[in-house]
Amino acid sequence: MFPSHRPRRLRTTPAMRRLVAETTVRPNQLVLPMFVKEGATEPTPIATMPGVVQHTRDSLRKAAVEAVQAGVGGLMLFGVPETRDATGSGGLDPDGVLNVALRDLRHELGDETVLMSDLCLDEFTDHGHCGLLDADGNVDNDATLRVYGEMALAQAEAGAHLLGPSGMMDGQVGAIREALDRHGRSDVGVLAYSAKYSSAFYGPFRDAVESQLTGDRKTYQQDSGNVREALREVRLDLDEGADLVMVKPGMLYLDVIRAVADISDVPVAAYQISGEYAMVEAAAANGWLDRRSAVLETLTSLRRAGADIVLTYWAVEAARWLR
Active-site residue set: 196, 248
Q: How far is the CB of 271 from ligand PBG (least distance, A)?
A: 6
Report residue 17 CA to chain centroid gap.
31
CB 216 within 8 A of CB 198: yes
Spell out the residues 6+ positions from residue 289 whose beta carbon is closer than 8 angstroms to its own.
Answer: 280, 283
Helices (H), the chain: 14-19, 57-70, 97-109, 141-158, 172-182, 203-208, 228-239, 254-263, 274-285, 291-305, 315-322
| Residues in 132-191 at the binding interface with ligand PBG, rule: CB under 6 A | 166
Q: Which CB sits closer to ligand PBG, 115 or 120?
A: 120
Applying CB under 6 A, does 118 fall inside the site for ligand PBG? yes
Q: Please choose, out of 86-94, 106-114, 117-125, 315-323, the segment that lies near ligand PBG by the rule CB under 6 A.
A: 117-125
What phi and psi, each to the nearest 5 degrees, are found at residue 209?
Answer: -105, 10
Tell me the one-letter amino acid at 153. L
- Mask of contacts with ligand PBG, 273-292, x by CB under 6 A? xx------------------
Smallest gap from Cβ 202 to ligand PBG, in A, equals 4
Binding of residue 310 to ligand PBG (CB under 6 A):
no
Cis peptide before 45 (omega within 30 of 0): no
Count interface residues toward ligand PBG (CB under 6 A). 9
Piece of 38-46, 118-126, 140-148, 260-268 that binds ligand PBG (CB under 6 A): 118-126
H/E stretch holding 163: strand 162-165
**x-or-dash string of contact with ligand PBG, 186-215, rule CB under 6 A:** ----------------x--x----------
Q: 293 near 314, Cβ under 8 Å?
A: no
54 is a contact residue toward ligand PBG (CB under 6 A)? no
* Contacts with ligand PBG, residue ranges (CB under 6 A): 118, 120, 122, 166, 202, 205, 217, 273-274
